[in-house]
Structure 1
Amino acid sequence: MRGFLLNRLSQSLILLLIVSVIGFLVLNLLPGGPLAQFGLDPGMTQDDLDRLKEQLGLNRPLLMQYLDWAWRLLQGDWGHSFRDGAPVLAVIGRHVFATLLLMGTSTAIAIAIGTWIGIRGATHRYSMFDHVATVGAMVALSIPTFWFGLVGIYIFSLRLGWLPAGNMYTIGDGSVLNYLHHLILPSIVLSLVHVAIWSRYMRTATLDAISQDFVKTARAKGLSERRVIMKHVV
């Protein structure tokens, strides 16, 4: 077990290193480089851009820039935001609660609905419900999540006016119900793909459990097959 965890950890570290190198190279190879947004300012001259490059150390070789960035990252110095100059870690910290709340809610919805769909699809194999669930999972996995978000905003926010289109809460109203009202649409949208994945997993696991001898024995004794499967799978 320890060897497995160490192997997974080493793979994750290597993957993070590769992703960081690729992201760093892409940022520097784009037209304008890291200072592209400053180049959009009509009042910014080439001399100003050159001065910024020197101040930020962007006139050094890419290898030196990357090593300096990685060392500062490991030390907890993630730099400052270009937008307001605030420390990046502080900006991230202000949004951690909202992120965890949204991801936790969408995950809970996905597990609850996906488990029910997967088990029902397996116990009613090749039924209309199973076919619809399979097609729905394929659609959810094939369409980008942001498209579902745009459709949800158009239908439930713009057309029907049932749900807010953004923000975490209404300014001046920080009640729990207001938080939940704003949480409904984004959490459901984010859970769609996870529902598809979880339902397929639960269907496969349930079909495997149904073929086990203990389920056949329980069925022969008149016990509820669904209850036995739920206890074994979940």
Structure 2
Amino acid sequence: MFKYIIKRLLQAIPLLIGVSIIAFSIMHLAPGGPLSVYTLNPSITAQDIDKIKVILGLDQPVHIQYLKWAKGMFTGNWGTTFFGGRPVFDVIVERIPATFLLMGSAMSIAIIIGMFTGILGAFRRYSVFDYLATTGAMVALSFPTFWFGLMAIYIFSLKLGWFPSGGMFTLGGEEDIFDLLRHLVLPTFVLALVLVAQWSRYTRSSFLEVIHQDYIRTAKAKGIKGSK
């Protein structure tokens, strides 16, 4: 077992290196490159851009930039933000509680609804509910999450005004639990939508596999009802 774990870890090293090279290349191949936030600012001159390149080390060869970037990623020195000049690591750590809250809420809803839908669809196979659930899951999996997010903001925030379009609390308001839940509803259900589709399909397939096992058929043949 220990040798297997070591082998898998060693096999992951080339994969991680390849992913890091691709991520680094995407930053440089993007329009404007890493300095796009500055080049799109009309108040910054070409001389200022050259100075920023020297400060950030972007005037050095690409392979040197990659090695320094990879070393910083590995050691936790992720640089500073373009806006505010704060350490990137501190900004990420600051956002972790909100991320856990959002993902935890979305995952909890997805598991509950997804498993219920999948189990009911398996026991009522080829019923109207099963067809509707299957179609809804395929539709949810066919569109990217950000599209559902944009549509949810447009309908429920801009048009109906039921929920805020962003943030965790209302600016200038009381930061209580009810305000937090109001801000949490829209993003939670948008993220849970695709997760519900995944969990329902997985649960349905798993239950269909189980209920067609030989011991299930044997139990039914001996008179045991399906509700037991």
Same fold (TM over 0.5): yes
For each residue in 1:165-204, what CA deviation from the matched residue of structure 2 results, as whole angstroms up to 9, or x when unmatched?
2111223322222211211111111011111111111111
The 2-side partners of 1:213 and 1:31 are apart by 59
Counterpart amino acid of residue 198 in structure 1? W
2:152 counterpart residue number: 152
Superposed displacement of residue 67, structure 1: 0.4
For each residue in 1:79-99, what CA deviation from the matched residue of structure 2 results, as whole angstroms up to 9, or x when unmatched?
000111000011111111111
Counterpart amino acid of residue 50 in structure 1? D
User: Is 1:49 the counterpart of 2:49 in the alignment?
Assistant: yes
Q: 1:97 to 1:222 in 2, by over 3 A?
A: farther
- Aligned residues, how many? 227
Superposed displacement of residue 151, structure 1: 1.7
1:91 counterpart residue number: 91
The 2-side partners of 1:77 and 1:11 are apart by 25
DSSP 3-state at the match of 2:200 = helix
1:178 counterpart residue number: 179
The 2-side partners of 1:6 and 1:200 are apart by 34
The 2-side partners of 1:12 and 1:183 are apart by 36
1:135 counterpart residue number: 135
User: Is 1:62 the counterpart of 2:46 in the alignment?
Assistant: no
Superposed displacement of residue 12, structure 1: 4.6
The question of whether the paired residues in 2 share the 8 Å contact of 1:110 and 1:192 is answered with: yes
- TM-score, normalised on structure 1? 0.88
Q: Which runs of 5+ in 1 are unaligned?
A: 228-234
Structure-to-structure mapping, 1:120-131, within 5 angstroms:
120-131=120-131
The 1-side partners of 2:31 and 2:149 are apart by 30
The 2-side partners of 1:117 and 1:36 are apart by 46
Q: 1:12 to 1:132 in 2, by over 3 A?
A: farther
The question of whether the paired residues in 2 share the 8 Å contact of 1:218 and 1:225 is answered with: no
Counterpart amino acid of residue 132 in structure 2? V
DSSP 3-state at the match of 1:84 = coil
Counterpart amino acid of residue 125 in structure 1? R
Q: 1:52 to 1:189 in 2, by over 3 A?
A: same
DSSP 3-state at the match of 2:194 = helix
- TM-score, normalised on structure 2? 0.90
Q: 1:169 to 1:12 in 2, by over 3 A?
A: farther
Q: RMSD over aligned Cα, in angstroms?
A: 2.1
The question of whether the paired residues in 2 share the 8 Å contact of 1:164 and 1:182 is answered with: yes
DSSP 3-state at the match of 2:68 = helix
2:114 counterpart residue number: 114
The 2-side partners of 1:157 and 1:46 are apart by 41
The 1-side partners of 2:17 and 2:227 are apart by 46
Superposed displacement of residue 220, structure 1: 4.6
For each residue in 1:124-183, what CA deviation from the matched residue of structure 2 results, as whole angstroms up to 9, or x when unmatched?
111111111111111001111112112212222223222222111223322222211211
For each residue in 1:35-88, what CA deviation from the matched residue of structure 2 results, as whole angstroms up to 9, or x when unmatched?
122122223222222122122211111101100111122222110001110000
Q: Which runs of 5+ in 2 are unaligned?
A: none
